[in-house]
A and B are shown apart, each in its own frame.
Chain A
């Protein structure tokens, strides 16, 4: 494990998480959440958890973002906070 890479990606993960919950547009939240999931996948592949990383890449960054966008399409993009 390379700790510099690990620290950089962990910082990006936290930035993505804060951005995802504070941006005032739900479609933006969906995309930021996809980015968050992908960063998470990188973090797990650094920790040598290849199966978990593969699952997260296909499930978290792929299908769950699509579900999210579909749900936003069916409801509303508006949010107050």
Chain B
């Protein structure tokens, strides 16, 4: 119990990210509506992005914009004062790519709706079988 408590206090963020990811995965598998599945996919994606960004954070670190004097002299930069910028770079592009893939997925959903007049998975399967 003591072991669990120390871990829970130190890593509650990671636990909550995993719960968020589980919500997304559940929506992707179990929900019947295609748009709901897309929302689940986006929740999954943001949970993973959240995890990536959180491994770059440092206790007491500030934003990764280096302090400098305009046109001024050289001074040593202490990297432990700034948070890790590398996960930010990787995830920034991932967010923009995720919205464009979301757009393509919505276009596919609209195409499916035009043809079968439904977005529910079970109705969709029966209508595909009938035709």
Chain A positions near chain B (C-beta within 8 angstroms): 1, 6-7, 10-11, 13-14, 17-18, 20-21, 26, 29, 33, 36-37, 40, 43-44, 47-52, 55-56, 59-60, 63-64, 67-68, 70-72, 74-76, 79-81
Q: CB distance B23 to A75 under 8 Å?
A: no
Q: Is the interface of B mostly helix, strand, loop or mixed?
A: helix
Which chain A residue lies CB-closest to B43? A17
CB distance from A44 to the nearest CB of B (A): 6
Is the CB–CB distance between A21 and B31 below 8 Å?
yes
User: B42–A33 contact, CB under 8 A?
Assistant: yes
A52 touches B40 (CB 8 A): no
- A29 CB contacts on chain B under 8 angstroms: 35-36, 39
> In the complex, A17 Cα to B106 Cα: how many Å?
19
Are B36 and A60 interface neighbours, CB within 8 A?
A: no
C-alpha spacing A79/B106, complex, angstroms = 16
Give bound CA distance, A80 to B119, whole Å.
10
Whether B31 pairs with A81 at a CB distance below 8 angstroms is yes
Given A52-B49, A60-B46, 18 additional A-B pairs, CB 8 A: A17-B20, A20-B39, A21-B26, A26-B33, A29-B35, A33-B39, A36-B46, A43-B50, A48-B57, A52-B92, A55-B95, A56-B95, A74-B113, A75-B35, A76-B119, A79-B33, A80-B120, A81-B33
